A and B are shown apart, each in its own frame.
Chain A
Amino acid sequence: MTELAAFVVLLLAVLAMTPVRAHAQVDVWPSPLEAVEVYRIPLWLPQFQIDDPSLISRAQTMEQVLYQDLEFCGLFEIIRKKPVVVGMNSTNLSIQVQGKVSTADGRAVFEGTVTDVASGDFIGGKRYEIKEGSIRRTVHHFSDEVIHMVTGERGVALTSIVFTRKNEGQWELVVCDYDGYGPRVLVRQSVPLLEPRWADQNRAVVYTSYRAGKADLYIRYLDESQSRTLAAGEGMNYTADWSDRREMILAALSRGGNSEIYLLDKTGVVKRQLTFSRAIDTSPCWSPSGREMAFTSDRSGTPQLYIMEVDGTNLRRLSFAGGYNESPAWSPRGDQIAFVTRIDGRFQLAIITPDGRDGRLLTEEAGGRENPRWAPDGRHMVYTERTGGQEAISVIDIKTKGKRILAQGANADWSTR
């Protein structure tokens, strides 16, 4: 028996000495994400029917907004002119969306219908009273209905974006619609203001501000006229990320001159310290489940992405390629983490799966990009585009890689639905 025991011990020792290699990672940043040929559902959007001439200008606005919404979502190929339908088997046209504006019982009414072009079958319809001041919201609501009727997916036309901008030497915290329309300044101040994140079911925004001479965390409810202090302890208090699922906040606090990540309750009280290293630990972001977080640390010598459970366990490194990976943002579906990576001196957007596979570059052009944040559809992302000294809020469709500029500014965050 001793022979056996000796053998086993020896073998276990050999096993233990087998070098643990980093898993099959790529040393160079991975191939760019190919813009895939995305199938778009052909959608015929004829001119609106206008039954009351006094409603012409409102109808035109609505038609334009509907066109932009349906175009933005990336799901449709929109056709404006009446197509030539060849027989019943016409496959190049499937959906007709018809808007109609009229007056009924002295009220302006918008009706939208969705029909199958080939069969003429009615798919669905909605009817709204047109109220001055909410014309765009009415159309956004209808366009989300169209997307849902046709694809079963939920649109993002009723979501909002928060961002910061510099305006005549002042820092401003601004909220606008998902398409950049209707900006509203929530806070204006002469000292830096950054990293806003939606909080408390989109009713509030948490952000970092130098109001008291150093970086502290504040929360601003949209229906209030003053911000409340959330965390202003010794050192810096910054980069908060709120989880609606947990009703908790992740933030970087530096008590004693070194930033660590902490879990705070929704009133800003520290519940747990999550990182313990003498390196920089910052930019925490929640997983959609509220169970894990991704963050950045330079504990290896360069900024890299890490993941851990919010109970403090299961810490692992996510990024290995490149010398600067920062600003993680976990997709709402949980399957991707977007981040900023430095390649040839330029800062680009990339995505990687939470198990560290399939890293892909989303951008390659000159200039620089930062702060990617997902739309709730998991397909669009808002980020800061930097050209020279100019900063702009841009949106990218990660399927088509199509981009558009939303507004001048930086630090955007996309609300949930």
Chain B
Amino acid sequence: MFAKKILVVLLVIGLAALVGGCGGKEAMEEPATDVEAPPEVKAPPEVESPVVKEEPQEISMSAINDVFFAFDKYSLTDESKRTLEANAQELKRATVGNIIIEGHCDERGTKAYNLALGEKRARAAMDYLTALGVDGARITIVSYGKERPFDPGHDEAAWAKNRRAHFVLQK
């Protein structure tokens, strides 16, 4: 019994030393990767569909507007959501024609990362539209990253215009 107690004490000391030792050796520890899921596209509110059934209409691009993003972000702002809700209405009213959503970025950051970011922006716009009931088969997305800016300027005013999901009628 005594021997057992000594063993226990030794074990405690040994393990305590191990804990202390580990604390000191920071290199041995795993880097904490804070894995944070990107913001989910929330199901948007129901939008009333027009009751009157008419002849299939063609999309009027004047009723479709681009949406804009913050730097290095692809989440939709409330204003972007309102724009997309109006776009969705037009796309549901006019069932003839398909659209391309182009994702664009401002000139800051690298080309490769902006390609991916532009795609996320186009994708976020598309996902919101389909959640509103627009047929996903009518939408294609493409990212141009920072390769095709709308405003060639190099200030925040130009950058804000260039961070967009741009809607184009598919020919």
Contact = CB atoms under 8 A, between A and B. Distances in A.
Interface of A: 1, 3-4, 7-8, 11, 14-15, 18, 20-25, 192, 194-195, 208, 210, 213-215, 235-236, 238-239, 252, 254, 257-259, 277-283, 296, 298-303, 316-317, 320, 324, 326-327, 340, 342, 345, 347, 355-356, 368, 370-371, 386, 388-389, 410-411
Interface string B19-40: 1001100110111111111100
Contacts of B49: none
A4 B5 CA distance: 8
Contacts of B93: none
Contacts of A257: 119-120, 122-123, 126, 141
A7 B22 CA distance: 20
Contact of A23 (B22, B31, B38, B144): B31
Contacts of B143: 215, 236
A21 B143 CA distance: 38
17 contacts: A1-B4, A3-B8, A11-B12, A215-B143, A236-B142, A238-B112, A257-B141, A259-B119, A277-B35, A282-B116, A283-B110, A283-B113, A300-B34, A316-B30, A342-B109, A356-B31, A370-B111
Nearest to B142: A214
B117 interface: yes
A259 B115 CA distance: 10
B70 interface: no
A327 B119 contact: no
B72 interface: yes
Interface of B: 4, 7-8, 11-12, 15, 18-19, 22-23, 26-27, 29-38, 72, 107-113, 115-117, 119-120, 122-123, 126, 141-144, 147-148, 152, 154
B32 A21 contact: yes
Contact of B112 (A3, A282, A342): A282
A18 B112 contact: no
Nearest to B36: A301
A159 B113 CA distance: 28
Contacts of B147: 192, 194
Nearest to A18: B19
Given A192-B147, A280-B120, A317-B33, 17 more contacts: A3-B4, A20-B32, A21-B29, A22-B32, A23-B29, A210-B144, A238-B112, A252-B116, A257-B126, A296-B113, A300-B35, A303-B113, A326-B109, A327-B113, A342-B109, A347-B110, A389-B154
A28 to B, nearest CB: 17
A389 B112 contact: no
Contact of B115 (A14, A215, A300): A215
B137 to A, nearest CB: 13
Nearest to A7: B8
B16 to A, nearest CB: 8
Nearest to A296: B113
Given A18-B23, A21-B26, A282-B112, A302 B38 contact: no
Contact of B4 (A4, A21, A239, A303): A4
A15 B14 CA distance: 12
Contact of B117 (A213, A238, A280): A280
Nearest to B37: A278
A189 B111 CA distance: 18
B36 A300 contact: yes
Nearest to B9: A7
A124 to B, nearest CB: 44
A277 B120 CA distance: 13
A167 B19 CA distance: 63
Nearest to B141: A257
Contacts of A326: 109-110, 112-113
Nearest to A208: B115
B36 A299 contact: yes
B109 A347 contact: yes
B15 A324 contact: no
A193 B33 CA distance: 34
Nearest to A323: B72
Contacts of A215: 115, 142-143
A249 to B, nearest CB: 15
Nearest to B122: A257
Nearest to A6: B8
B130 to A, nearest CB: 11
